[in-house]
Chains A and B, each alone.
Chain A
């Protein structure tokens, strides 16, 4: 892009001061792949001049499992559990993004109740992901207590996920054309109760950081990403909005009925680590807003596309008692949901950014090619530019503020 990125003042000042005062030593430092601040298995190969980073080369691929290759070798529904393991901090949101992508291919509309269930689960996943991001970020910059509070809240969310999907972590909740099962009785009330008690606690958690002198010293003015850079490097999600670009696919390309809910899209002003933190904090409040609206007008009716007999499986009791449904179920399990030939690209606003699926089908129940556009992959690609001329301790702060997941980055 044409505009040049101006390096953060603080970092540049530190660099020149360091040059004057100290006899610095050049060294090369390998940070990670097992380093607490790299949140997984990211490795940074850095050249240092004293404490100032002169070159930063991310080395990724330590968690590469070949998900795209695997997808080419199994039916559409069989791939759902693999999507759990992309952004493993928000598996529900991945499930939903994948299901909608394949439904676009099939030109299938899911009923309103199913859409509402998906919206609620996506937003709860967003809260849970941001809570972890916040807690881990706190630890990275030296605020331990945030983590304790945010994990207590996540635990409550996991209880709700377990009730809904049967699993705390790897939910595999969606199917092509619907979800695995309807919401349990009374679940929406318990979600509502969670939301009510969550908001004051969230304020308390954020109050630990927002005006915290140490936290602000570590984040304000650090890792500034300009608007042009954020777009040029394909940043999405809170990292893009932190730089002041008000792009939110839930608002701009609404899917799953997001156009029916009122919510605001928070954006940052300067694009530094502090702004990205503020955006995430506010997003959780907006998620609560969406969840409460979705529950207030929770539609009745079917929770899967009942007419799509070649895509969504029949009810289990029918499978065991009726010949037609038995055959339908058999065909679905062995051949997979039948799709037309064609190409579809869909991205959803996930907690980490826009998770996209590019599905190339040649007909039948197995994709010919499935490309996963992972937000963390794109968000990390700015690191070589962002980390230059910063202090090593700022790198930790920058990494935490980007809030990436290596499961998704490496696929």
Chain B
């Protein structure tokens, strides 16, 4: 398995700013953000890493600089090995990273997800929209400052607001898992129930 090791060495010679990244399994590289597209392209075309298996981000925490790291995992269908490429995104809370949709069309959804969850803007992405959360959602849930319980947000659908009178989506796990609402509310009262409560098994339905 010397071929991938050789090609990674050649890559590091061609790009002097590329350094080794500590890793417990596969070879890993740290690449400056402005070189990441060319490095990934030469990994794809010269080193045979033709399969982008995963693209994701790591939040180093509020106040860290640079705050977000984008991580690519490539696989080679010819010499069957992985390589991890990481790049620290310039910018703090509104980080940017170059899009690799030009190299792999499959990066499209991965980058949308990273944008949705972390708020990283991928420059050159053809269609950077939220993918898992709904359009207009104000937060980026995988950021470290976002609480596990969630944050109360306004209901996006005006028809639902008009029909139910509910204006907000409650934080899904406020008060911890399995507790419907925090504070003084009796748990029996907080349970989900039927909209029309004028009748039940004890009181008959009014005619």
Question: Chain A: residues with CB nearer than 8 A to chain B?
Answer: 1, 60-61, 64, 66, 68-70, 73, 104-105, 107, 229, 231-236, 245, 247, 252-253, 340, 342-347, 354, 356, 358, 360, 368-369, 371, 373, 377-378, 380-382, 385, 410-411
Contact of B132 among A234, A340, A410 (CB under 8 A): A410
Q: Which of B6-14, B19-27, B157-165 forms contacts with chain A?
A: B19-27
With contacts A60-B132, A232-B106, A358-B73 known, is A343 near B54, CB below 8 A? no
In the complex, the chain A residue whose C-beta lies closest to that of B77 is: A247
Would B53 and A66 count as touching, CB distance under 8 A? no
Would A60 and B131 count as touching, CB distance under 8 A? yes
Would A345 and B148 count as touching, CB distance under 8 A? no
Contact of B105 among A66, A233, A358, A410 (CB under 8 A): A233
B134 close to chain A: CB less than 8 A = yes
With contacts A1-B105, A346-B25 known, is A231 near B77, CB below 8 A? yes
The distance from the CB of B131 to the nearest CB of chain A, in whole angstroms, is 6
Would B25 and A347 count as touching, CB distance under 8 A? no
Would A343 and B53 count as touching, CB distance under 8 A? no
Would A343 and B77 count as touching, CB distance under 8 A? no
Would A354 and B24 count as touching, CB distance under 8 A? no
With contacts A104-B25, A252-B80, A342-B24 known, is A347 near B133, CB below 8 A? no
B18 close to chain A: CB less than 8 A = no
Cα A233 to Cα B108 with chains together (Å): 9
With contacts A60-B131, A234-B106 known, is A342 near B23, CB below 8 A? yes
Would A64 and B132 count as touching, CB distance under 8 A? yes
The distance from the CB of A366 to the nearest CB of chain B, in whole angstroms, is 12
Cα A15 to Cα B115 with chains together (Å): 36
- Chain B residue numbers with a CB within 8 Å of A385 are 105
Would B25 and A68 count as touching, CB distance under 8 A? no
The distance from the CB of B91 to the nearest CB of chain A, in whole angstroms, is 19
B59 close to chain A: CB less than 8 A = yes
Say whether chain B's binding surface is mostly helix, strand, loop, or mixed: loop
- Told that A233-B106, A340-B24, A381-B105 touch, could you supply 18 new A-B pairs with CB distance under 8 A? A1-B105, A69-B142, A104-B24, A104-B25, A107-B24, A231-B51, A236-B53, A245-B77, A342-B23, A345-B82, A345-B84, A356-B54, A371-B71, A373-B54, A373-B56, A373-B73, A381-B109, A382-B106
B interface, how many residues as a size bin?
Answer: 35 or more
- Chain B residue numbers with a CB within 8 Å of A354 are 53
In the complex, the chain A residue whose C-beta lies closest to that of B148 is: A73
The distance from the CB of B166 to the nearest CB of chain A, in whole angstroms, is 19
Q: A-facing mask of B110-134, CB < 8 A → 1, else 0?
A: 0001000100000000000011111
In the complex, the chain A residue whose C-beta lies closest to that of B84 is: A345
- Chain B residue numbers with a CB within 8 Å of A371 are 54, 56, 71
Instruction: Give the A-B contact count at a CB cut-off of 8 A.
Output: 98
Q: Which 9 A-B pairs have the closest CB atoms?
A: A234-B106, A61-B132, A342-B24, A233-B106, A381-B109, A371-B56, A373-B54, A64-B132, A252-B80
Would A61 and B54 count as touching, CB distance under 8 A? no
- Chain B residue numbers with a CB within 8 Å of A253 are 80
In the complex, the chain A residue whose C-beta lies closest to that of B73 is: A345
Would A69 and B104 count as touching, CB distance under 8 A? no
Would A66 and B141 count as touching, CB distance under 8 A? yes
- Chain B residue numbers with a CB within 8 Å of A373 are 53-54, 56, 73
Cα A380 to Cα B148 with chains together (Å): 28
- Chain B residue numbers with a CB within 8 Å of A1 are 104-105
Cα A382 to Cα B148 with chains together (Å): 32
In the complex, the chain B residue whose C-beta lies closest to that of A409 is: B132
In the complex, the chain A residue whose C-beta lies closest to that of B59 is: A369
Complex A-B: 18 CB contacts under 8 Å: A66-B141, A73-B148, A105-B24, A234-B51, A235-B106, A252-B80, A342-B24, A343-B23, A343-B25, A343-B28, A345-B25, A345-B84, A356-B73, A373-B73, A380-B109, A381-B106, A381-B108, A411-B132
In the complex, which of the residues A104, A107, A373 has the most CB atoms of chain B within 10 Å of its own CB atom?
Answer: A373
Cα A340 to Cα B25 with chains together (Å): 13
Q: A-facing mask of B17-54, CB < 8 A → 1, else 0?
A: 00000111110100000000000000000000011111
Would B24 and A69 count as touching, CB distance under 8 A? no
Cα A70 to Cα B26 with chains together (Å): 26
Would B148 and A69 count as touching, CB distance under 8 A? yes
Would A232 and B104 count as touching, CB distance under 8 A? yes
The distance from the CB of A108 to the nearest CB of chain B, in whole angstroms, is 12
Would B22 and A342 count as touching, CB distance under 8 A? yes
Cα A318 to Cα B58 with chains together (Å): 40
With contacts A252-B80, A342-B22, A377-B109 known, is A61 near B141, CB below 8 A? no
The distance from the CB of B160 to the nearest CB of chain A, in whole angstroms, is 15
- Chain B residue numbers with a CB within 8 Å of A360 are 58
List B135-179 residues whose CB lies under 8 Å from chain A: 141-142, 146, 148
The distance from the CB of B207 to the nearest CB of chain A, in whole angstroms, is 34
Would B73 and A369 count as touching, CB distance under 8 A? no
The distance from the CB of B204 to the nearest CB of chain A, in whole angstroms, is 33
The distance from the CB of B104 to the nearest CB of chain A, in whole angstroms, is 6
- Chain B residue numbers with a CB within 8 Å of A369 are 58-59
Cα A382 to Cα B105 with chains together (Å): 9
- Chain A residue numbers with a CB within 8 Å of B24 are 104-105, 107, 340, 342-344
